[in-house]
Structure 1
Amino acid sequence: MHLHIIFALTIGLWVCSSAVTCPCGWRFKAHNTIYTHRLSNDFSTSADAQPALNNPDAANFNRDWMIYDFEQRADNPTIRLNAKYDFENVEIVNKHLVMKQRAYSQADFEAYRTVSMARIQSRRLDMTHGTYRTVFKLEGDHGGACAGFFWYRDDRSEIDIEVVTPGTSIVNNTINYTIHPSLSGNGSPIPNATVSIPINEVVTHLGDFHEYRFDCHPQQGVDFYVDGRLQHSNRHNTPKFGGNLQLKLWADGNNWWSGTPSTTEVRLTVKKIIAYFNVTTPDPKLAATCKAAGGPSDNTTCVVV
């Protein structure tokens, strides 16, 4: 596989403005848990960067995120299409991060041409339990596309929110909440590991901005939210080790998920990405800073709701 992964960012929905004012971290009110780290990006302050990769106008983004640029060859051409995550499909435009899935015509399909998609991944690979959030809208589709916001370690340890547009797949026009693995060793579904909810039961219009969020706690499991409303709770296979955060927009012709790619360009327009989380190995500098501030208290932690 030809693979380039390229670096990128950070934004916010926070109560306190910086680690200076939150020396002992962020207290997540729902779990009364302190998270020591924050990944935060508010694109409303960002300059245009087309494409974003290695663009000096997207320095913050490129510092903290990676942009994928590699071809994903179909494992079974009778089921899937070849697809490519293309760095040129990730831009910062009009104070938003824009990720594109290029139009894929009937002629493209008949010629078995490669689908052009977009994907970004946090540079941090040690993110554990936390609250992970993004605000985006999905528009332009005329056929299959899947917008995914997820935490990932490997195929046996993954948390997904995936929005599948109207199209040809068996899960088209749904929002899906999953913890992997979702199948047992014999291939049968694991109860409650994944749930699909029709889009119109969750949001009125995908073309409006909505907040997609999942909270991961070692004892309480994973809760999924859209616009602050609980959609699904899952206590199955809560991650125990570090992973990364990703956003992607894709379609590979698989009629069990994305369906035939949209014949028009699909745009995932992101307003914010923010996460409060702990990491696999505590940072002694952060511990020293907290101790010097007097230890965890209402005055040294910031509240996240």
Structure 2
Amino acid sequence: MRPEFRIFLCFTLFIVTAQASLFKLAPKARRAYQTLQSRYTSYSAVSANLAKCACGYYIPETKQTFTHHVVLNPSTFTSSDLATALSRQGWIISGWEQTSSPKNILYTPSNLKYNPSSKALELTVSGGSSSRSSIPSAEISTIMSKILYGSFRFNVKVSSVAGACSGLFFYKDDNHEIDIEILTSHIHNTTTQKDGIPKPGVQLSVQPLTETQALKNYKVVPFDGNFDPTKGYHEYRFDWLKSGVKYTVDGNAYGSYTRFIPKTAGSILINNWSNGDPYWSAGPPTKDSTLSIRSVDLYFNTTDTTAIATWKAACKKAAYKKVCNVPKSKSG
């Protein structure tokens, strides 16, 4: 063990236990930790608190320290060019058409706007005729595409206009995906549902790891009267570790999975879309249906070797002492 590690070992036990292999400690000093994941960029997207949090971000509920932090804070946008403002915080706007049925989904940059009154980023599914062949929708994703494990928090307000699906999720491909979705057509529906139509509530799923595997990780948590997703902002969160995925809403446990957990790096996405499918998004909406984002906080690791080297160098320069404790989830 190098001398500098001995000096700071007593002060940084929780750093060491979370990141032991990075410092190449003797086996007896190691404990389970999450492999580092994410793509480092020159953007200010990497936490604005990078200097004081050079050795990472400790999440008390998970007992894990993660190396990277990307935020989305629309109230601090300093550019009138939305694409530029988002890229500075580590996000990119989607612009493509997804083949779907019965309608295509058209992710349109112009359907993304900053609302200076509410200081929120708005992702809109355009209202209009049901005869449209494609439905203008909106989506953003992290610039970093090698995210693996972390704590992901989204402070959002969902539209009360029926016919859209609001998604907050990790995505590598259709077999490596962790979802939080709210279907605006199925929020206040208390009538008997037809076969195959989702029940009202937060739709939580971890997609199957193979195409032939039956989906095992899916549940709907009903809105229990404690909150209405269309009234005010609420924090939707998932913690993704090697051991499983745990969901919370406003700090309250909403379910967990321990089987078929993705172990492949990918991106975090937020979208609001419709394809007119009566068995999921329903719609399309007859008027604009907007998902409003007040803030997003992503604490995570990366597989990018350059990012790992940069993080190690910054932590060494900080004398292995600068780890930030992350507050628990917000309560609404």
For the superposition of Structure 1 and Structure 2, which TM-score range results when normalised by the shorter chain? 0.7 to 0.9
Contact persistence 1:172–1:258 (CA under 8 A): no
1:162 and 2:181 matched: yes
Distance 1:201 1:195, change over 3 A: farther
Question: Corresponding residue for 1:3?
Answer: none
Distance 1:212 1:22, change over 3 A: same
- Residue 168 of structure 2 aligns to which amino acid in structure 1? F
Contact persistence 1:11–1:272 (CA under 8 A): no
Quick check: 146-155 or 24-33, which moved more?
A: 24-33
Question: Corresponding residue for 2:49?
Answer: 18
Q: Secondary structure at the match of 2:114?
A: strand
- Residue 71 of structure 2 aligns to which amino acid in structure 1? S
Distance 1:102 1:119, change over 3 A: same
Question: CA offset at residue 97 of structure 1?
Answer: 0.7
Greater strand content: 1
Greater helix content: 2
Contact persistence 1:10–1:273 (CA under 8 A): no
Alignment match of 2:172 (pick from 144, 153, 157): 153
Question: Corresponding residue for 1:244?
Answer: 267
TM-score, normalised by the number of residues in structure 1: 0.81
Contact persistence 1:135–1:270 (CA under 8 A): yes
Question: Corresponding residue for 2:156?
Answer: 136
Question: Corresponding residue for 1:208?
Answer: 232
Distance 1:84 1:72, change over 3 A: same
Distance 1:63 1:247, change over 3 A: same
Q: Secondary structure at the match of 2:316?
A: helix
Question: Corresponding residue for 1:4?
Answer: none
Structural mapping, 1:53-72, within 5 Å: 53-54=83-84, 58=85, 60-61=86-87, 64-72=90-98
Question: CA offset at residue 48 of structure 1?
Answer: 7.4
Alignment match of 1:92 (pick from 114, 117, 127): 114
Question: CA offset at residue 124 of structure 1?
Answer: 0.7
Question: CA offset at residue 201 of structure 1?
Answer: 4.9
Distance 1:201 1:236, change over 3 A: farther
Question: CA offset at residue 251 of structure 1?
Answer: 1.0
Distance 1:204 1:182, change over 3 A: farther
Contact persistence 1:252–1:259 (CA under 8 A): yes
Question: CA offset at residue 172 of structure 1?
Answer: 5.5
Deviations 1:87-145 (A, max 9, x none): 100111212111111113xxx22x3432111011111111111001110101240x211
Contact persistence 1:137–1:206 (CA under 8 A): yes
Question: CA offset at residue 184 of structure 1?
Answer: 7.0
Distance 1:293 1:47, change over 3 A: closer
Measured in 1, the distance between the counterparts of 2:263 and 2:212 equals 20
Measured in 2, the distance between the counterparts of 1:69 and 1:202 equals 36
Contact persistence 1:121–1:247 (CA under 8 A): yes
Question: Corresponding residue for 1:290?
Answer: 315
Q: Secondary structure at the match of 2:220?
A: strand
Q: Secondary structure at the match of 1:213?
A: strand
Paired residues in the alignment total: 273
Question: Corresponding residue for 1:127?
Answer: 147
Deviations 1:254-305 (A, max 9, x none): 122111222121111100011010001352121022123222xxx4211113
Question: CA offset at residue 11 of structure 1?
Answer: 9.6
Question: CA offset at residue 173 of structure 1?
Answer: 3.2
Distance 1:202 1:245, change over 3 A: farther
TM-score, normalised by the number of residues in structure 2: 0.75
Larger Rg: 2
Alignment match of 1:114 (pick from 129, 134, 143): 134
Question: Corresponding residue for 2:200?
Answer: 173
Distance 1:102 1:11, change over 3 A: farther
- Residue 175 of structure 1 aligns to which amino acid in structure 2? V
Alignment match of 1:81 (pick from 67, 81, 103): 103
Q: Secondary structure at the match of 1:53?
A: helix
1:52 and 2:82 matched: yes
Distance 1:184 1:84, change over 3 A: closer
Gaps of at least 5 residues in structure 1 are 1-7
- Residue 177 of structure 2 aligns to which amino acid in structure 1? E
Gaps of at least 5 residues in structure 2 are 1-42, 187-192
Measured in 1, the distance between the counterparts of 2:44 and 2:115 equals 15
